[in-house]
Amino acid sequence: MLPEMLNFWQANLVYASAAITTCLIVGGAIAASSRKTPLPPGPKGWPVIGNLFDMPKGKQWIGFAELAKRWGDIYSLNVLGQTIIIVNSVDIAHELMDKRGTNYSNRIVQVMGGRLVGFDKTLVLLQYGDRLQQERKLFHQLLGNPTSLGQFFPCLENEAKKLVRRIIKKPDGIYEHLRTASGAVALKIAYGYELREDLNVDPFVAMAEQMTQHFSHTHRPGAYLVDYIPALKYIPAWFPGAKFKRQAKLWAEDITRTIDEPHKFVKQKMATGTAEASFTSNSLEAHPELEQEIKDVASAVYTVATFEALIVALTLHSEIQRKAQVEIDNVTGGERLPTVLDHNQMPYVDALCKEILRWHVILPMGFPHVAKEDDIYNGYFIPKGAMILPNAWQMGHDPNVYSDPFTFNPDRFLGQQPEPDPRSYCFGFGRRISFFTGKKLADYNLFITVATLLACLDIFPLTEQVRRESKHEQKIGALRSYACSYPVRIPCAVKHRNTEMIRLVEDS
């Protein structure tokens, strides 16, 4: 009797969910037909499902860019009743999410990644309110002003030297070393934690990488049906077809562990009087009543770096390496290692860093925002609850903005008429971006990594054929497809270019 009752309940839950969703969609369609102000243009959808089949599969940023060729820089889709506004222009994105930030300040909280996996409790998706304001204040104290940033310069320089040492020791692991270096800086600043050099993969770095991958998988638009039919979240995890519920439980446990374990590490060190100065230890001493907020902010310091794209670009373009190395040698005299303070004296290296950010946008579809209230933009209606997706990849590859956008060319940012700085869109939009991405710290970290690598090493493809084939692949957008994207790796090798620089790195 019990199995029959359960089957009856489960079936009716699914049918009820579908019925409610259909009613909402039909109701939305009736409301839309009575509006005088139109939505942004877009492809005509099917009854009930709307534009479900128009949602790009795989590399969504490229698919959305293709749709923009027909529908323009702002267009709309409707998927199972959810209005989605795709923005392909920097100017439109700034107008909506920066100038009208009050209306677009909240992030869309998808059911899978947000409520089931738990990213809705992290700074990336936390909705505006008292808790977010408190955490923003803490983050500003850490990374929000030039004085606080300066204290981290020695850390950035030391980690860049460690990176070179790791590459010298094991050159065939260069991509893994780069990702380790990104985590090392964040862990040192947030927790005073030194990486375990005796292990191939540090456990804290592995956890942070895993958390980033979970975010990528759960925040691809259209990836999970539960994001469009929220009632599906009530289906039991053991129910056939409910694999997403079982996966969400595992990923939620990973996120909790990633946030809690480094925090416990600091508290244990503080209890024994051996904790190094860090954001967590300093903040816990000053504000013990804000422990949860401190834990959240510390976990947000870790960001995926663009170091993999750096290696791909340098491997493909030896002439750009040479040009940057000449500038580095002119500033350092070939007798010392670069420092963060050399930044303003190396305009070509700075341009190289900008081109890495433009050529390979680490968040190609940015962070989805949501309209808090109805709005009108340029004669188009944007309804309350609409999801706003900024296509940052298209913004960096728009031929009307960047000349020959698929060519890697740092010179585009130099001269009398430099092309637009990609840092205005590559980290996302909205009020919280300047606080929660550590934009300036990321700039300095990328700069000192590039400068130190090129001061010490030459990077080249294993064969000329690899270079030729890879250049063609990069021209058509060779990215691994996730919310946080990574370039397709190119096999490469390194050699020492300056014995004095190598000696300084080894001795430091």
Both tokens of 364, joined, read 């190609």
Nearest to 316 by CA among 96, 102, 471: 471
- Expressed as residue numbers, the domain containing 166 is 60-402+415-507
Specify the pLDDT at position 438: 66
345 pLDDT above the threshold of 90 = yes
Pairing of strands 82-87, 387-390: parallel
**Residue 39 within any structural domain of the chain:** no
Distances (CA, A) of 145 to 153, 164, 422: 13, 29, 21
Two structure tokens written together for 107: 């992030």
- The segment with the largest mean pLDDT, out of 105-109, 383-387, 462-466, is 383-387
| Cβ atoms of residues 226 and 313 within 8 Å | no
Maximum average pLDDT range among 146-155, 242-251, 274-283: 242-251
Residues 150-156 have a mean pLDDT of 87
Is 121 part of a structural domain of the chain? yes
Q: What is the mean pLDDT of residues 279-297?
A: 84
Please calculate the CA angle 163-357-398 and round it to the nearest 5 degrees.
160
Pairing of strands 479-480, 457-461: unpaired
Q: Give the list of residues 6+ apart from residue 409 with CB closer than 8 angstroms, or none.
A: 355
DSSP of 351-398, one letter per residue?
Answer: HHHHHHHHHS-SSTT---EE-SS-EEETTEEE-TT-EEEE-HHHHHS-
User: Residue 261 and residue 187: Cα distance in Å, rounded?
Assistant: 12
pLDDT at res. 431: 66
Q: In angstroms, how far is the first alpha carbon of the chain from the final one?
A: 74
Provide the domain count of the chain. 1
- 200 phi and psi angles, rounded to 5 deg: -65, -40
Whether the pLDDT of residue 227 is over 70: the answer is: yes
Report yes or no on 18 lying in a domain.
Answer: no
Residue found under tokens 């063609």: 472
In contact, 251 and 263? CB cutoff 8 Å: no
What pTM did the predictor assign? 0.84
**Do residues 395 and 366 lie in contact, with contact meaning Cβ atoms separated by under 8 Å?**
no
Phi, psi of 398 (to 5 degrees): -80, 115
Higher-confidence residue: 138 or 224? 224
Stated as kind and residue range, the H or E segment containing 225 is: none
Kindly state whether residue 12 falls inside one of the protein's structural domains. no
- Sequence-ordered list of residues with C-beta below 8 angstroms from that of 417, at least 6 positions apart, any chain: none
Q: Strands 457-461 and 375-377: what pairing?
A: unpaired
In a domain, 34, yes or no: no
Indicate which CATH number applies to the domain containing 341: 1.10.630.10
What is the rounded distance in angstroms from the CA atom of residue 139 to the CA atom of residue 301?
Answer: 9
- Provide the pairing of β-strand 387-390 with 380-382: unpaired
Give the pLDDT confidence score for residue 127 in this predicted structure: 74
What's the CA gap between 155 and 321, in Å, rounded? 25
Residue 497, token pair as written in the block: 């270019």
Contact 72, 41 (CB under 8 A): yes
CB-facing half-sphere around the CA of 442: CA atoms within 13 A: 22
- Flag whether 473 is in a domain: yes
**Mean pLDDT for the stretch of residues 346-372:** 91
Residue 3, in any domain of the structure: no
Q: List residues bridging with 460 in a β-sheet.
A: 493
pLDDT digits (tens, 9 = 90+) for 18-57: 444 444 444 454 444 446 789 999 999 999 889 988 988 7
Decide if pLDDT at 138 tops 50: yes
Mean pLDDT of the chain, nearest integer: 83
pLDDT band for position 455 (cuts 50, 70, 90): very high
Q: Is residue 171 part of a domain?
A: yes
pLDDT surpassing 60 at residue 374: yes
Helix (H, G, I), strand (E, B) or coil at 460: strand
Q: Are 297 and 142 in contact (CB under 8 A)?
A: yes
